[in-house]
Amino acid sequence: MAATEEHPAQNVPIPVQPESMKKDNAAGFAGALAWFGAAVDYLLQTGDMQYVNTVTLNAEAKNVLQGYAESTKKSEADKIWYAKPSASLIITAPQPVYAGGSWNWQVKLNIDVGEKIYRKGTLQDTPADKRHIYMSGEAVGTYMNGIWDLNMDIN
């Protein structure tokens, strides 16, 4: 359920791992990256890091996302939340590079907290300079024992 003046988003769909993630190939790696993007989107709507925490992140990216999660929990107590935050992970190269047993792909993570924010029951505009966070870098994926180990070196 979407956020309203009375409550933040509720019953947000849990990220689902795509079938393609079960393969050690470019499609499997792309599926793993799509799942990570969905995990960040879930974090933005709920403040819950549990799915994001299944991925290794560089310190800067982890600090940004952890900071958002912590501020979301505090903001909810203060009756402040974004109306429609979202995240998208974009693969910026046509194909990944496979080297040394790992897949590498250049990516961008775009975070948009949305145009509107609820502050104590009142819908307000989000300041334009606070609306977007853009990160880019390299995603490294290693497929071991049927599971993708992702390392996101983005900032």
pLDDT in tens, 75-86: 888 888 899 999
Q: How confident is the model over 133-150, as pLDDT tens digits?
A: 999 999 999 998 888 999
Which pLDDT score is estimated for 29?
Answer: 96
pLDDT by residue (tens digit) across 22-56?
Answer: 999 999 999 999 999 999 999 999 999 999 988 88
Domain boundaries, the chain: 25-154
Give the pLDDT confidence score for residue 43 in this predicted structure.
94
Give the pTM: 0.88
What tokens appear for 121 in the block?
A: 């029951």
**Residue 4: per-residue pLDDT:** 82
Pick among 1.10.20, 3.10.450, 3.90.220, 3.30.1490: CATH of 25-154: 3.10.450
**What mean pLDDT, rounded, does the chain reach?**
91
Exposure of 26 in the CB half-sphere (CA atoms within 13 A): 10
pLDDT at position 72: 85
- 118 bridge partner residues: 81, 123
